[in-house]
Amino acid sequence: EPEVTQTPSHQVTQMGQEVILRCVPISNHLYFYWYRQILGQKVEFLVSFYNNEISEKSEIFDDQFSVERPDGSNFTLKIRSTKLEDSAMYFCASSSGYSNQPQHFGDGTRLSIL
Amino acid sequence: QKEVEQNSGPLSVPEGAIASLNCTYSDRGSQSFFWYRQYSGKSPELIMSIYSNGDKEDGRFTAQLNKASQYVSLLIRDSQPSDSATYLCAVNINYGGSQGNLIFGKGTKLSVKP
C-alpha cells in the first residue's frame, strides 16, 4: 500500500539554526499538508499546498516557516531560525485532492531544539 | 474558533467489550469526519471516514454521525488489547471548493484490559 515517507525520523538542532524536514507524498496525490504535535498536545494544522502554492496556513505558520515542492516527488518544510518552542513532531500528510478524501500521514519527524 | 471536543479518558474496557468514543464539533459547516488511531510516539493512522448522517460500518468499527447534534462517534466491537491507543476525531471544513485542513480533537485514550 502506498505511503507517505518522511525524513529524517529525528532531527536535533541548535536554537537559531535552519532546519528542513522532507516528505515524499503518495505519488498520485495532489494536496499536501504539514501538521505538528507538541508532546502531550493535539495535532495542529500548519499549512496546505496545492498546484505549487499554499492553499491555507494557520497562525502558527509565520514568516519563519516556508514550504516548497522542489521536484515532482519531494515536499519540504523549512524553519528558518528555530526556537525552543518549535520542538515537536512534524507530520506530513497527503490526499488525492478529490473532495472529502482522507488525508494520509507519514511517520513524522521528531524535531528537538536545544 | 472552530473546535473539536473529545473526552480525554482514559477509557478502560475489558477485552471483548464494546468501546464507545465520542466527539462534538462546533462548526456547522463541517463536511467530512474522520477517526484516526495514534499509538504512543507514532503518527495518526486513518480508521474511518464518514460524510453523511447515520452509521458506517467497517469490520469491528462503526462510525456514527449526527450533523444536527454536531456529534460523531466511533464504536469498537470485540475490543482487543491491540486497540489500546489514543483515538483522534478530526473534522474537515471545505470552503469555496478548497480541500480544507483537518481540525483535531485532543483524543481519547483507550485501554483494553485482557
Burial of B63 by CB count in 10 Å (0-12 exposed, 13-18 middle, 19+ buried)?
Answer: buried
Interatomic CA distance for residues B29 and A100, integer angstroms: 13
Interatomic CA distance for residues B114 and B105, integer angstroms: 27
Instruction: Over range A9-36, report the average pLDDT.
Output: 96
* pLDDT of amino acid B94: 64
* pLDDT of amino acid A42: 95
Quote the percentage of chain A above a pLDDT of 70: 98
pLDDT at A26 over 80: yes
- Local confidence band at A70 (pLDDT 50, 70, 90 cut-offs): confident
First and final CA of chain B: distance in angstroms? 40
Between chains, do B34 and A102 touch, taking CB under 8 Å as contact?
A: yes
- Local confidence band at A33 (pLDDT 50, 70, 90 cut-offs): very high
* pLDDT of amino acid B97: 52
* pLDDT of amino acid B39: 97
* pLDDT of amino acid B9: 86
* pLDDT of amino acid B98: 53
- Local confidence band at A71 (pLDDT 50, 70, 90 cut-offs): confident
Of B108, B88, B7, the C-alpha closest to B46 is B88
Instruction: Over range A5-16, report the average pLDDT.
Output: 97
- Nearest Cα of chain A lies from the Cα of B114 at a distance, in angstroms, of 26
Between chains, do A55 and B42 touch, taking CB under 8 Å as contact?
A: no
Instruction: Over range A56-81, report the average pLDDT.
Output: 93
Which residues of A make CB contacts under 8 Å with B? 31, 33, 35, 41-45, 48, 50, 55-56, 58, 89, 91, 93, 95, 97, 99-100, 102-108
**Cβ-nearest to A100 among B32, B36, B103:** B32
Handedness of CA B28, B36, B65, B32 (dihedral sign): positive
* pLDDT of amino acid B27: 84
Q: Identify which has the larger pLDDT, B74 or A50.
A: B74
- Local confidence band at A100 (pLDDT 50, 70, 90 cut-offs): confident
pLDDT at B92 over 90: no
C-alpha cell, B32: 467530512
| Mean pLDDT estimate for chain A | 93
* pLDDT of amino acid A32: 94
| Mean pLDDT estimate for chain B | 92
Tell me the per-residue pLDDT of B18-73, one tens digit each, with 9 for 90 and over: 999 999 999 888 889 999 999 999 999 999 999 999 999 999 999 999 999 999 99
CB B56 within 8 A of CB A102: no
